[in-house]
Amino acid sequence: MADTVTAEDPITGEEIEVPADVEVGEIIDSPVTGAELEVISVDPVELEEAPELEEDWGE
């Protein structure tokens, strides 16, 4: 079994390698743009740009 699989970078459209054991909701860094990408599907692996997290400040 491969250690990595390919997925499309949603920002550039380029094929990038991601770990084969990624899980839905996991955040990875794009090797192309450096942007944070969220795994939205694992079969096949699909990525989307991760939403910016808001500061909680204990609310």
CA angle 46, 12, 8 (to 5 degrees): 25
**In 1-59, where does DSSP find H-type helix?**
none
Residue 17 is part of which domain span? Answer: 4-49
Residue 16: give its domain's CATH number: 2.20.28.160
8 Å CB contact between 32 and 7: no
State the total domains in the chain: 1
pTM for the model stands at 0.82
58 falls within a domain: no
In tens digits, what is the pLDDT along the chain, a chain of 59 residues? 579 999 999 999 999 999 999 999 999 999 999 999 999 999 999 999 998 876 666 65
16 falls within a domain: yes
How long, in residues, is the chain?
Answer: 59
> What span, in angstroms and rounded, lies between the C-alpha atoms of 17 and 53?
25
